[in-house]
Amino acid sequence: MKELKKSLKLWWEKYSIKLRRLLLWLVLAALAMFALLPLFWMFITAFKKEGLGLQTEIIPKGSLSELYTLSNFTAILADKDFPFFRFLLNSTIVAGSAAIVSSAICFMSAYAFARKNFPGKEFIYGLLMASMMVPGMIFMVPQFALITQFGWMNSWQGLVIPHTANVFGIFLLRQAIERIPKSLFEAAEVDGASDWQIMFLVIVPLSSPVLLTLFLLTFLGQWSNFLWQLIVNTPDSPWITLPVGISLFKGQYSIAWEKMMAASVISVLPVLLLFIFLQRYIISGLTQGGVKE
């Protein structure tokens, strides 16, 4: 019995790390499958024939053509009542311009908070950080009131400008700028560099992963910002974006699930590919900007 216990103890000491690692991988794989389930359902439904979108059948009893078809994709791309490419262009313009303007504002604000001294700097910065605890839905009513007063309904300004202020971006970039050695700033000032030259010749090259991360996060957030885009746009607006356009497949008495999912698949692909190829920059940017030594 003692020899058996001893052998089991030795076996556990030898393989316990591998078993724990295997168990961790199994748990993570299960969680990943659960997280990807909605995407899988969207992809499968996009290829199903009209009227079969809500059926749980995945593998047909006969041939694949009995259940699946490509007509949903061709229908939304050729439908004159659904200008898919116009919606796609609007989403690209809105998300891209919001990301560019927001990144620029956050960059200049972060530089001021990190490198400049002015009265009430820490107090103002503390107020900005405290505002991050306020739910975004609370700002929606005053933002809508301002948009209405300015006459920005159904316009580019109404879709973009309210979301150019990004407190998280200021925090992220300030942390990244403060990590840059002061000797580089002092050397640039000795050489007679202005603030603009310091920002673009010193800070931008050293904090480019953080800037790219902020741009991508803002772009992804505005690409899928359905609620605000729905509020600002009316049905006859020339600035209807893709998320709002996809909702047009929902009628009063029925929903074209198959076409809705086909349009969703096409709208998700650019963002998904962008995230897959640039995820290492997002991770390194969040790590670089969120940790201060």
CATH 1.10.3720.10 positions along the chain are: 76-290
As a whole number of angstroms, the distance between CA 142 and CA 88 comes to 28
- How many residues in total does the chain contain? 293
Cα dist. 273→246, 267, 270, 279 in Å?
Answer: 20, 11, 5, 10
Q: Is the pLDDT of residue 98 over 90?
A: yes
pTM of the predicted model, to two decimals? 0.80
- Would you call 49 helix, strand, or coil by DSSP? coil
User: At which residue do the structure tokens 């009131």 appear?
Assistant: 145
- Please give the CATH superfamily to which domain 76-290 belongs: MetI-like (1.10.3720.10)
HEC string for 77-136 = HHCCCCCHHHHHHHHHHHHHHHHHHHHHHHHHHHHHHHHCCCCCHHHHHHHHHHHCCCCH
Q: Return all residues near 52 (Cβ < 8 A) that are at least 6 apart.
A: 67, 258
pLDDT (tens digit per residue) in 223-272: 988 889 989 988 888 999 988 888 877 765 667 788 888 888 888 888 88
pLDDT of residue 284: 64
